[in-house]
């Protein structure tokens, strides 16, 4: 691991100022906020991340979880994944988020991992994690070793000729289905970014993963209320039953009435370059009769644009079955 300086901050403006000043003052090794450290330190140990300074934000008052006046929820950036997953309001109003969080990592990791850290966790692509190989996301212009290489776990949707890495987070899939908003404080003030505008597709610049700018601190995430009577759930398929990232997953918020789908929100994990919202599946299903045939049609629509690589073609069918099964499970809860 490279040597680094660790500083602590005790106010949000100090955190923003410290990051913005350090990021613009010198070129070279970056400056990073550190929250739970379960992703950042992991990558520092293998020299994928080589910050010259870490800004410890754990002293900031950003760990709260509270109801909003509209019946939604505000989740602090430093709320630990375990605390969110086991919170009564989350279990009651957003089971999809609780289930997604509990399907990830291990108890020990979830006790440290934070909402914002999870949002920004890096891909598990083996070439991103190995500095001996070219990776456009880690080192722009060095090529994508995953194309034609080990790509079994990687993305089918949203990829480019520069990068086929998948977003590994479970939490982010649930937040995508729930229409979360990411609240950010930066040097120019506060802003609220809808989650579908937060992540950037790799395109020609895979190193840029979100709309965050130097100095930007995520302060909290808000969730709108789900439609009254809607059921939500998360289904994750993986190589082993725990402590493993998704091959394919689905987050569903479904409301039915009179045997038909009144509204549905669908997001997919494990198969997208970013957490993948499928408006195609939603359009295919809204207003339709609740049936296995229509769930399968929605799954076909969701994967219509899939571009499998040399080793991950099996995930096309897996993701379709995952989505159709998740829809059936959500419908059965009604
Ligand atoms: C063995 C293992 C298995 C795992 N399995 C899963 C899994 O199955 N599913 C899953 O979803 N995840 C999994 N994870 C990933 C885990 O969920 C993440 O490591 C964790 O969520 C990161 O949160 P953190 O607070 O520790 O982030 P950190 O490591 O502290 O930070 C991560 C990034 O976020 C930035 N950051 C943190 N907070 C802020 C903020 N407020 N504003 C701006 N930037 C910020 C940091 O600068 C850094 O770049 C696994 C991790 C490990 C090590």
pLDDT digits (tens, 9 = 90+) for 280-329: 999 999 999 999 999 999 999 999 999 999 999 999 999 999 999 999 99
The residues pairing with 65 across neighbouring beta strands, listed in sequence order, are 75
Reply yes or no on whether the pLDDT at 26 is more than 60: no
- Ligand 1 geometric centre to CA of 81 (Å): 10
The total of other beta-carbon atoms located within 10 Å of residue 243's CB is 11
Two structure tokens written together for 87: 């919170």
How does the average pLDDT of the chain come out, rounded?
97
**Complete domains list, the chain, with CATH:** 5-56 (3.30.43), 231-332 (3.30.390.50)
The total of other beta-carbon atoms located within 10 Å of residue 46's CB is 11
pLDDT tens string 77-132: 999 999 999 999 999 999 999 999 999 999 999 999 999 999 999 999 999 999 99
Sign of CA dihedral 62, 171, 82, 97: positive
User: Among 116, 170, 214, 244, which is best to mutate for testing ligand 1, by the most ligand atoms less than 8 A from CB?
Assistant: 116
pLDDT tens string 163-204: 999 999 999 999 999 999 999 999 999 999 999 999 999 999
pLDDT tens string 10-25: 999 999 999 988 776 5
User: Among 38, 76, 85, 115, which is best to mutate for testing ligand 1, by the most ligand atoms less than 8 A from CB?
Assistant: 38
- Ligand 1 geometric centre to CA of 189 (Å): 25
Q: Which residues contact 199 (CB under 8 A, 6 or more apart)?
A: 167, 172, 209, 210, 274, 275
Report the pocket of ligand 1 as residue ranges, CB < 6 Å: 32-40, 42, 57, 77, 104-105, 109, 112-114, 116-118, 120-121, 168-171, 217-218, 245
- Ligand 1 geometric centre to CA of 55 (Å): 15
- Ligand 1 geometric centre to CA of 331 (Å): 32
CA 12/CA 190 separation, integer angstroms: 11
Two structure tokens written together for 99: 């289930």
């Amino acid at each position: 691991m490279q040597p680094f300086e660790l500083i602590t901050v005790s106010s949000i403006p100090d955190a923003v100022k410290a990051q913005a000043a350090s990021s613009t003052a010198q070129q070279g090794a970056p400056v990073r906020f550190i929250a739970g450290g379960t992703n950042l330190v992991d990558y520092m140990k293998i020299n994928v991340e080589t910050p010259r300074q870490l800004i410890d934000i754990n002293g900031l008052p950003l760990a709260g979880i509270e109801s909003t006046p509209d019946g939604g929820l505000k989740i602090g950036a430093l709320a630990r994944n375990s605390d969110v997953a086991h919170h009564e309001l989350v279990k009651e109003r957003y089971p999809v988020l609780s289930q997604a969080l509990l399907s990830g990592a291990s108890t020990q990791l979830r006790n440290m991992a934070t909402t914002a850290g999870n949002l920004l966790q890096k891909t598990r692509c083996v070439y991103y994690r190995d500095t001996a190989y070219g990776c456009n996301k880690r080192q722009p212009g060095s090529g994508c070793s995953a194309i034609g290489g080990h790509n079994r776990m990687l993305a089918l949707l949203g990829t480019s000729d520069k990068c086929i890495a998948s977003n590994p987070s479970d939490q982010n899939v649930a937040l995508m289905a729930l229409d979360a908003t990411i609240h950010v404080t930066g040097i120019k003030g506060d802003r609220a970014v809808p989650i579908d505008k937060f992540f950037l597709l790799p395109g020609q610049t895979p190193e840029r993963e979100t709309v965050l700018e130097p100095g930007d601190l995520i302060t909290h995430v808000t969730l709108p209320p789900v439609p009254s009577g809607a059921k939500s759930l998360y289904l994750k398929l993986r190589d082993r039953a725990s402590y493993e990232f998704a091959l394919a997953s689905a987050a569903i918020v479904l409301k039915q009435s009179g045997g038909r789908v009144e509204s549905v929100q669908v997001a997919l994990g494990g198969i997208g370059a970013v957490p993948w919202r499928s408006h195609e599946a939603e359009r295919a299903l809204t207003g339709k009769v609740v049936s296995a045939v229509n769930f399968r049609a929605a799954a076909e629509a969701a994967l219509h644009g899939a571009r499998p690589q040399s080793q991950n073609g099996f995930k096309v069918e897996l993701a379709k079955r995952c989505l159709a099964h998740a829809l059936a499970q959500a419908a059965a809860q009604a």
